A and B are shown apart, each in its own frame.
Chain A
Amino acid sequence: MCHLKNIFHYINIELKGGVFFVVVTKPSPLPLLSLPIFPLAVLDFEIDRKMLGVARRKLGFGLFSATRVLPAGSVLPRKYSTAAKEITVREALNSALDEEMSADPKVFLMGEEVGEYQGAYKISKGLLEKYGPDRVLDTPITEAGFTGIGVGAAYYGLRPVVEFMTFNFSMQAIDHIINSAAKSNYMSAGQISVPIVFRGPNGAAAGVGAQHSQCYAAWYAHVPGLKVLSPYSSEDARGLLKAAIRDPDPVVFLENELLYGESFPVSAEVLDSSFCLPIGKAKIEREGKHVTITAFSKMVGYALQAAEILSKEGIDAEVINLRSIRPLDRATINASVRKTNRLVTVEEGFPQHGVGAEICMSVMEESFEYLDAPVERIAGADVPMPYAANLERMAVPQVDDIVRATKRACYRSVPMAAAA
């Protein structure tokens, strides 16, 4: 990177693989006419496509000139989105369910309050009116019972979508999820496949106490025979839910209650009814070169915010949205770590045997020589979720926890504090 401080005091020009980036870092009083004086006359204002993966909280690129190229079909920053539409995660899930139910009459939805109440979190709004009570079933409060019924229906080729009001309640039904659904294809040597989707909010909401706030990603991802997905943005929600419903295997779909109301810009491609994302592929939300941060669900938003803060301090973080916890996209994670040489994993759940533990081990197994620093693992506190607001804030990772851990991974200057 060469700083031309003398004449072009405010412009950094960086050479990267033949493409010239011009980053205007401060308001430049110099007229653009002075630029052609510079020997490298061709200045391409192309923006790296993947940087636009940042959904909402845009970097302060307000000083980019208007000649930036807007790549088609990817996520656009808010202030430039004239053509892009924004939908909430709730709308994304609702539309995905709606489209899959209309495309395939074997798909049906069952759960508590999904019908007349329009969904406990309004995800299934309007579906009862559209598809009737035979396909949108309000169940009594019997998780073990109706999950078992769903699995049995799936044995015979129907495609149930079983909604848990929160995944905490899935513990009452976990025997069926694991023993009846996950293991069936194996135990029957392929005779019985179980095309079922278990979905619902996972993880902590706000102030709901210990029995409503646990994250089950690690629990379900532990089991062979299950696919575990966890979307972050509306695009993820739509694509992954459609993929899950079309999938011939049991899928645990972990949403997040606090993300339901957040809106994200989506392209026309995402809104198309045949849109579908691959299972087992992570997404690089933000490209970087100093450190890799992996996260899923709500923590992706926090990781992106942390990346913002870090970029101001000169640390360029690459944020990976895992999307799929099982199968884990080890290839993407390892490729990223081989590029950046440092890793920070972020998750909301309890630390021991968590998703981060698996990622760290995978990186150690495959990319050990590439690591320049020990892997950092951020998780929720190793306690049941307290109710008091200040304790709850401490029990869930916050943006500054991610920032601190990333700095530790980069400098190793702050001693690590282990969990009790």
Chain B
Amino acid sequence: MAMEVTQLLLNAQSIDGSVRKQAEDSLKQFQEHNLPAFLFSLSGELANEDKPADSRKLAGLILKNALDAKEQHRKFELVQRWLMLDATVKSQIKAGLLKTLSSPVPDARSTAAQVIAKVAGIELPQKQWSELIGSLLSNVHQLPPHVKQSTLETLGYLCEEVSPDAVEQDHVNKILTVVVQGMSSSEGNNDVRLAAIRALYNALGFAQANFSNDMERDYIMRVVCEAALSKEEKNRQAAFECLVSIASMYYEKLTPYMNDIFTITAKAVREDVESVALQAIEFWSSICDEEIDILEEYGGDFTGDSDVQCSYFVKQALNVLVPILLETLLKQEEDQDQDEGAWNIAMAGGTCLGLVARAVGDDIVPLVMPFIEENITKPDWRQREAATYAFGSILEGPSPDKLTPIVNVALNFMLSALTKDPNTHVKDTTAWTLGRIFEFLHGSTMDAPIITPENCQQIVTVLLQSMTDVPNVAGKACGALYFLAQGYEDVGPSSPLTPYFQEIVQALLTVTHREDAGECRLRTAAYETLNEVVRCSTDETATLVLQLVPVIMLELHNTLEGQKLSSDEREKQGELQGLLCGCLQVIIQKLGASEQTKYGFMQFADQIMGLFLRVFACKSATVHEEAMLAIGSLAYACGPEFAKYMPEFYKYLEMGLQNFEEYQVCSVTVGVVGDICRALENKVLPYCDGIMTQLLKDLSSNQLHRSVKPPIFSCLGDIALATGQDFEKYLMYAMPMLQSAAELSAHTAGADDEMIDYTNSLRNGILEAYSGILQGFKNSTKIQLLIPYAPHILQFLDSIYMEKDMDDLVMRTAIGVLGDLADTLGSNAGTMIQNSLSSRDFLNECLSSEDGSIKESAEWTKLAITRAISA
């Protein structure tokens, strides 16, 4: 068997497709036929010094993939399978892996390191393989450099795989000790040193306690800074990556080191190779991120929540930092705007400058203006582009008071540069800057408008003209128009864009038909802008929006005509259909919002629905999602009339609910079910058996992304509210499901913020379901059916109240459920409610809430309870 495996592994890398395919099939068969033997032979292959490096490496990778997967449910399965393997087999595999760490073949060692980390990721949280860390640590001290290097690498991967609470502090201390020792300049072997620096990057998350200890922190920081000055480029890059990570993880501990860090980052940005300079800039971007977050929280409502003080590092470094960043702007690459994946020092520097502006506000303006003034008219395009980019970068952050006078002067210059500058880079950045001007300084909340009746026409003309420029410039011009339209969102009954509406729409449609519209996301940008123009249009242009309906319908119709497409063409067709469905969705929502415009639109409803159904028949996930979103809007606009589409549409609704893989599609479909319930009310009943079955299946699936579950619960409430007492037949399924979900979500002990957020969204869904069911049964003769569930609902309310971690939304929904309970069950539940904690403490807390909508719900609930107990 062993011999055979080697050949299979080599064949699986053959350039001959059929040989490769056959080998892959055989490997798969082997795996399915006898997993323990398969894994064991792979580990044997990896450990065997007599085997070729290529087969060893692939053996290791397959082994790794047998332990982990991206999809949660698959990962869970693989973990279970590993844990159930025979203990002897497992220990033999592990022994083989550890042995491989000493192999002279670098690929074999490195692969083994990754596999060991995966096994550790499974076993350490189960309190198994407790001797692993000890044996790795003892390795470090005695062995030749290449073993030391692979051991440090393993420790790094291990820190990446295992959560900090699965490793005891004593081990953490020891790991950090060997890692930091390995990093220090006294380590003679550079491979070891680099492995140690990279290991620290992953181990930083484990170092909470150590970073709180002054002496240990000083030591770590000293070694990291030393490494950032190492002679080896790779060491410096890895060390700066550590600094970036430290900036966000340990911001509040950085004060004593900032002088040194400033010196070394400044030097790196100015003098070092790009890979290092990029990380040095990223350090400052991360500091900005932190300070922006802190200042936003400080300025927001949650002053009590934020215990991190802003140290104003950016503000203190400003005078030196800004000139350094401005210098980087002059280091553009040719054609960087055409390359989607480009990332260079000029781009990083400009991005950082933008973050600095957000962190310090007005203070940045006087530091940047001289640079702009000096360079913006220079003959070298790099200087003009850098000046424009600097200007565009600082438009978010400083106050409108500070910026408006400057923008008023600059606007004309920008408009003329956009049409006249000979350089495409300059035009690209100019169009982007105009977009930023409109995004941040134009809108109904601005005191001094920068767009006046005088310059509005010129702006529109220039942007439309620019849309005929090369794709990247045209795309940015579309983006600028997007924000120009957005600024008029709340303008009132009359929009300054009304006179140009027709022209703008025509120009955007022309862009979508350009032959090169596929480049630089141009077509997407044009449709997105069209959507925003429609969204922000006023009643004045309602007839023009209505005229757009048949135009877009025709476009969508045309995409359906193509026959026998190649997979590439099919993908493009799908993308276009997605854009067109999205556009129709926006139009439907716009026209459906008022009775008058809705009337005109409804003449197209049948045809539009027909097109959507044909789009569904093409089957592509994103199109599916876009068409589904559009159908939700259509149902909302049609109301009860939507019933006539249900017989044909129903199967796609069901397909959407079954789409576990593309959970966004599933999620959107769940929302559409809610729209349909509200539109059809009782007429949805004939479809409810199918829908309910699917929803209950979704809820019990562990394959479905968890984010879809809260909306499914809310959707149960929508169905119950629409069907009223006819929901009776689903009670025996829905209620136990709600009950067990309620129990799971009642407590959050030990959960992190993300988990608490999720739990709260789950609670909200469950509570909305209860509300819908209770309200649906109100005044029916069947309220008796609900009485048995009342104690549990009350208990759930009591326990989430006790937990003290619900957010405002949950609070509002929860207190509403209490009222619904009293309102629907009346005297049947009076005593029960009176005896609950919720009816006293929780209700009182909500009554004195500062949140208006919570108070409103609570007051209603109070009335309902009073009535229930006095009845």
Answer yes or no: do A and B interact. no
B contact set with A: CB distance below 8 Å: none
